[in-house]
Amino acid sequence: EKAEDRRQLLRKRVRDNFFPALERELKRVMGPVAPIIIEDKLMDLGEAKDFFPQDQVDYLIEGLGEEISNETKRREFIEAMMQFLSVGR
């Protein structure tokens, strides 16, 4: 077993309902391209959806927010995700 694999197991992963909520909120402000944008950001962070670590959530949401050109929609997305996270943390 490699050290990298062990480290991955020790990191706390996001809840199962995180990505459905993330995609729903991003689709609301960006439309059907949302899943593609999410996949691109995951690749940028070098992470996988199945093992996405809790400590990277803020970076992911911030990065996705940067993709939203409309300031009002960007704020709505970030606020909705912060609300979602505050309920479950």
What pLDDT does residue 23 have?
97
Runs of H (alpha helix) within 11-70: 18-30, 34-45, 57-66
What pLDDT does residue 7 have?
55
For 15: left if phi > 0, alpha if psi spans -120 to 50, otherwise beta; the answer is beta
Cβ pair 73, 27 in contact under 8 A: no
**pLDDT tens digits, one per residue of 37-47:** 999 999 999 99
- Coil vs helix vs strand at 68: coil
Cβ pair 61, 81 in contact under 8 A: yes
What's the CA gap between 72 and 80, in Å, rounded?
Answer: 12
Cβ pair 37, 54 in contact under 8 A: no
Confidence (pTM): 0.84
Low-confidence ranges of the chain (pLDDT < 50): 1, 89
What pLDDT does residue 87 have?
85
What pLDDT does residue 45 have?
93
